[in-house]
Amino acid sequence: MAVAIALSRRGRPSSAPNPNVGCLLVRDGKVVARGWTQPGGRPHAEAVAIAAAGEAARGATAYVSLEPCAHASPRGPACSDSLIVAGVARVVIAAQDPDPRTDGAGITRLQAAGIEVVTGVLPAGARAAMAPWWTRQVEGRPFVTLKLATSLDGCIALRDGSSRWITGERARAHGHLERASHQAILVGRGTFEADAPKLDVRLAGLADRSPKKLLLTTGGAPEGWTAVASPQAIADVDSVLVEGGAGAASAFLAADRVDRLLLYRAPILIGGGKRALGDIGLTDLAEAHDRWRLSDSRLLGSDRLDVYERIRTY
């Protein structure tokens, strides 16, 4: 299942609006096919794996990171039907599909066809791998990542606004990779005016992955940009990378709309420069605790990247 979940990440973010799912077909202890949701959302992961396996799918075990769908569409048959037709013997599922058109119906259909079904294998890992789609599906809002690039003392620029460069090349390249994995990036008015021409993915081979551009503003947006009036008002995307500046970052934090925090930190001290955040509505220090969990930490050149995830209990 861990492999199926890893495969699912390959469909992110290109599988939108469909969930990025991974599928592994195993027969006699050997992997006979792998699949993940293709760009635009079709074919689904199961369809890709079944096509690759051919006759080898018969009698195999399918590991899927999300319950196979039960709803056919003009773009293809339901995956639960495809698995039955392919003759798989057993289906192992990480997470049940929260989409009301499936939500258990895929499992029921497989079982009715005499297929053994195991559910709930590494569900948290599968949900994390498809967090953008899951957040949109279950909560009706996008999964938001906030990126901050600061000095050790939490500054994002000198007092005069100069911020080139705080972090080094490797950290900045990592930031571009993060852009490529999001459907949209968002900046506030100040960052827009300072950096607008540069908010593209500048990595070889990924230039076509430049995300939709959102501007947090109560006014209008120029061509190529979409105006967003508030953190609550984002439509049509599953994942948003909030890039700056302090105003936009603070607005999203104050609204508790940040799910993941990317903290790039350079080994420098600025002192008295522009700070990463303004007021986020905190009045009691105790309330600041137990909200963020470190999920990754790595050195990028001489900079450190710490990734924190918002601890949420639904």
Q: How many residues bind a copy of itself (CB under 8 A)?
A: 49
- Which one, 228 or 276, has the nearer CB to a copy of itself? 276
What is d(CA 242, CA 185) in angstroms, rounded to the nearest whole number? 6
Single-letter amino acid, residue 303: D
Question: What's the min distance (Å) between Cβ of 249 and a copy of itself?
Answer: 9
Q: 32 to 91, contacts with a copy of itself by CB under 8 A?
A: none
Binds a copy of itself (CB under 8 A): choice among 279, 296, 298, 312: 279
| 3-class secondary-structure state, position 167 | coil
CB 7 within 8 A of CB 26: no
271 part of the interface to a copy of itself, by CB under 8 A: yes
Question: Could you tell me the end-to-end alpha-carbon distance of the chain, in angstroms, rounded to an integer?
Answer: 24
- Which one, 116 or 169, has the nearer CB to a copy of itself? 169
Binds a copy of itself (CB under 8 A): choice among 118, 165, 207, 222: 165
Contacts of 57 (CB under 8 A, 6+ apart): 25, 27, 32, 33, 49, 50, 86, 87, 88
- Which one, 10 or 291, has the nearer CB to a copy of itself? 291
Question: What's the min distance (Å) between Cβ of 264 and a copy of itself?
Answer: 12
Contacts of 191 (CB under 8 A, 6+ apart): 243, 244, 245, 248
- Which one, 100 or 278, has the nearer CB to a copy of itself? 278
Pairing of strands 30-36, 22-27: antiparallel
What is d(CA 256, CA 217) in angstroms, rounded to the nearest whole number? 18
HSE, CB side, 13 Å, CA atoms: give it for residue 154. 5
Q: Would you tell me the crossing angle of helices 45-53 and 79-86 to the nearest 10 degrees?
A: 20
Question: What's the min distance (Å) between Cβ of 180 and a copy of itself?
Answer: 25
Catalytically active residues are 46
Q: What is the 8-class DSSP label of residue 168?
A: -
195 part of the interface to a copy of itself, by CB under 8 A: no
Residue among 257, 236, 165 at smallest CA distance from 16:
236
Question: What's the min distance (Å) between Cβ of 215 and a copy of itself?
Answer: 22
H-helix or E-strand spanning residue 155: strand 155-157
The length of the chain in residues reads: 314
Binds a copy of itself (CB under 8 A): choice among 151, 181, 183, 239: 151
108 part of the interface to a copy of itself, by CB under 8 A: no
120 part of the interface to a copy of itself, by CB under 8 A: no
Q: 208 to 267, contacts with a copy of itself by CB under 8 A?
A: 250, 253-254, 261, 263, 266-267
List beta partners, residue 285. Answer: none
Residue whose structure tokens are 């090349």: 169
Binding-residue pattern over the window 121 to 150 for a copy of itself, x denoting contact by CB under 8 A:
---------------------------x-x
291 part of the interface to a copy of itself, by CB under 8 A: yes
Question: What's the min distance (Å) between Cβ of 203 and a copy of itself?
Answer: 24
* Binding interface with a copy of itself (CB under 8 A): 148, 150-155, 158-159, 162-166, 250, 253-254, 261, 263, 266-273, 275-283, 285, 288-289, 291-294, 297, 299, 302, 304, 306, 308
